[in-house]
Chains A and B, each alone.
Chain A
Amino acid sequence: MNALRSNRFRTIAASLLFVIAIVVVNFVTRGNFLTPHNLTNVLRQIAQNAIDAVGQTFVIVTAGIDLSIGSLLALCGVVMARVVNASGLDGPLAVLLALVVGLAVGGGAGAINALPVVRLNLPPFITTLAMMLVARGLAFTISGGQPVTLHATAFNPIGTGTVLGIPFAVVIMLVVVAAFALVLARTRFGRYVYALGGNEEAARLAGIRVQRTKLLVYVISGACAGLAGLLEMSRFGTGSPQTGSGYELQAIAAVVVGGTSLAGGRGSIVGTFLGALFIGALYNVMNLANVESYTQQVVLGVVILLAVVLDELRKRYL
């Protein structure tokens, strides 16, 4: 009964806060936020980060961390652009080729991230930090330090096109979010991810292949970075070695704001999506309200801290 009561209270409180927030936002943006065009814009802006954050969620639920995704995104973009250019292909085949290459490079790098973690029990902070440097360096080496301009035109619709008025990138993001939400919440693999994040030894003694599960988690994270890299490359028509810096932290922020515990064992993909959406909306509102970009950073930092503190207080006292 108590739980029910507090659940209901929470729902009411959340709804109330939401309504107040909307009113305030509408006021400071002079009504420019709640327009279909602007909301679509917000979704398009968060697509890349949301996809990164989906992969990151898997890693963080196992109590790990993946710092390499920003660099991997750039590396995948550069490699994809080079390979597609070299193949001379265009049209759907070129896109398919890029997709395969991007997922392979990202996923492969994820596997390399994971190997020392599962075999030698090294901290993922270190292995992915190393990968962050290696991937960035490789991206510059492979591109010769210059953005690689795509010759194929088939990528333009992915970057800037729409389906039924919805940007293509947003469609991809929604598909990724929905699919991985099911994987984490409903499949055996997903359950094992939670189990080993919650208590690795208990998971091992229950017969779970802990090493394989962990490896897969980092592969997913790397592959998500590859997919995000494809979106980024399509949008700008180039594979840039400079892009993606700091994206890993944005993704981690979205995951944490979305209620996933850095200690592992707890969290959800839907929460992560809402976290990315929240951060994206906040940026958007600040832009509409003409908040200076330096100030935006301060606000964002404070908001992330507040979100986590509030979540902790809620867990303790509600």
Chain B
Amino acid sequence: MRDIVKTFPGVRALDGVTFDVRAGEVHALVGENGAGKSTLMKILAGAQPADSGEIVVDGVVRTIDGPRAAERLGIGMIYQEFNLVPERNVTENIMLGMEPLRAGLLDERAAVARADAVLADLGVALPRDLPVRTLPVAQQQLVEIAKALAKNARLIVMDEPTAALTNRETDALFLLIGKLKARGVAFVYISHRLEELPRIADRITVLRDGRAIETRPIAAMPEAEMISLMVGRPLDTHFPALPPVAAEAREVLTVRDLVSPPRVAGVSFTVRAGEIVGLAGLVGAGRTDIVRAIAGADVPASGTIAIDGAVRRIDSPRLGIAAGIALITEDRKAQGLVLGMTIRENTTLAHLGRFVRGLFVSRSAEITTTNEEIAQLHIRTPSGEQLARNLSGGNQQKVVLAKWLVGDARVFLFDEPTRGIDVGAKAEIYTLMLALAKRGAAIVMVSSELPEVLGMSHRVLVIRDGRIAAELARADATPDRVLAYATGTMAAA
């Protein structure tokens, strides 16, 4: 892949990336969340077009204009979220899209024969008549690999293949990869688990901010250097100055031994009035699950949550709101907004009772409040009657915030508050967080952007495997340390 460029509205996701894989090689691709790994691989797999750049396969420049084209060139893609049909059996999944026909009908016998041949070739035994939904994750992954090989893949891209595997399953996977390597199959191996890379990879490329920073043989790249290359940049200085938390500030949020399977495995921390606590960690570490459990969006299995010292039972979002907790969810379209409703209707939704006069919702009371929020948050819209659907990402996020500002929450849980929004709106959201802190709110912020966590938190909790791997004061929270704890390179202090 040469000089690949891809821009999304407001972001240059890939800024001229050149990347190559040799036959029989495992090439590790690492980088922070948002560095461009997935985008690069999606372009290779034909899931997204590149804006410019070229892809060369076996010395020939190729156009990959869809998944089929990638398949024909022998490129197989195994995403972290598998692309299997859960209700169909192993054979049908392996043969998906290339079902043998006889007289226009499915030739089941030929399908079974082919699938069995692929599996035998792989040297694995799978219960081929069971729906893949019933198989454990490791076996589903084998189905994915078999599926790629059935299409004669010569290059297989694996995105976080070991994220859901046990140690033993990981060993088995590495053995299999080694075997296929020996036969000339090449792999692109994306992983956050840096410690496993020396075991499996031949070369490594570090991506950062849409650029390939460095490619080297894995032996020449110690883990510490991987991390420093991944982080690499001086912190953005676009963050407003954080006022210190008053020494006498009370604990507003107290979380004790919170357990919420599968991803929260015992978490305790406190947040004081006026304090912003950042939750850092890798995707899937359990950060979102922690704030969801606190807000009652998920029902925690055990543990207590106290607001202003009083333990509250919170097993629904409704009780969370009553306890003074506002959860600003990470996915504003799926969870934050009713897109087919207006700004006004979204703004008042969580506190509609306050706008009821007699039997009916008072539109004039709603409009007054909505206009206040539009002004306060600088929501750019002709009026509050605009549908949420028609707003830009930043403005949608502001409407979500407006909804929670209407109440008088004491605790604000921000989950990826600035994901996918432009720089201007980001700055406005930071300013708002500070204003809330100044009013005495306790704030928890989950963010995958390291500079944001480090720039906007008084304290950073690094989450790994559903637990707090480290608690770092602002002065101690360096990108390298956060990443080292997040990836498990450094053990809990």
Contacts and interface: CB of A to CB of B under 8 A. Distances in A.
Note whether A and B form a binding pair. yes
Interface of A: 182, 186-188, 191-192, 194-195, 198-199, 201-209, 265-266
Contacts of A203: 338, 349
B335 A195 contact: no
B415 to A, nearest CB: 11
Given A205-B297, A207-B318, A191 B340 contact: no
A194 B335 CA distance: 15
Contacts of B352: 188, 191-192
A265 B339 CA distance: 9
Interface stretch (B78-86, B130-138, B353-361): B353-361
Contacts of B271: none
Interface in B283-336: 295, 297, 316-318, 320-322, 327, 329, 334-336
Given A206-B403, A207-B316, 17 more contacts: A182-B360, A186-B360, A187-B359, A187-B360, A191-B345, A194-B340, A195-B338, A198-B341, A202-B334, A202-B337, A203-B338, A204-B317, A205-B317, A206-B350, A207-B322, A265-B338, A266-B340
B356 A188 contact: yes
14 contacts: A182-B360, A186-B359, A187-B361, A188-B353, A191-B349, A194-B345, A195-B345, A198-B340, A201-B334, A201-B335, A202-B336, A203-B338, A204-B297, A207-B350
A207 B317 contact: yes
A114 to B, nearest CB: 19
Contacts of A192: 352
Interface of B: 295, 297, 316-318, 320-322, 327, 329, 334-341, 345, 349-350, 352-353, 356, 359-361, 403
Contacts of B339: 198-199
Contact of A202 (B295, B335, B353): B335
Given A182-B360, A206-B349, A265-B340, A199 B334 contact: yes
B299 to A, nearest CB: 12
Given A191-B361, A202-B335, A207 B341 contact: no
Contacts of A201: 334-335
B349 to A, nearest CB: 5
Contacts of B322: 207
A199 B338 CA distance: 5
Contacts of B356: 187-188
B318 A209 contact: yes
Nearest to A205: B317
B356 to A, nearest CB: 5
A142 to B, nearest CB: 37
**What are the 5 closest A-B residue pairs judged by CB atoms, nearest first?**
A198-B338, A206-B350, A207-B318, A186-B360, A207-B321
A56 to B, nearest CB: 20
Q: Specify which of A199, A204, A209 lies most central, judged by the most chain B CB atoms within 10 Å of its CB.
A: A199
A150 to B, nearest CB: 36
A318 to B, nearest CB: 15
B361 A205 contact: no
Contacts of B341: 194-195, 198, 265
B13 to A, nearest CB: 28
Contacts of B320: 207
Nearest to A190: B361
B460 to A, nearest CB: 26
A206 to B, nearest CB: 4
A290 B352 CA distance: 53
Of A182, A199, A201, A206, most B-chain CB atoms within 10 Å: A206
A182 B320 CA distance: 30
Contacts of A204: 297, 317
Contacts of A207: 316-318, 320-322, 350
B334 A188 contact: no
Nearest to A198: B338
Nearest to B403: A206
A205 B333 CA distance: 13
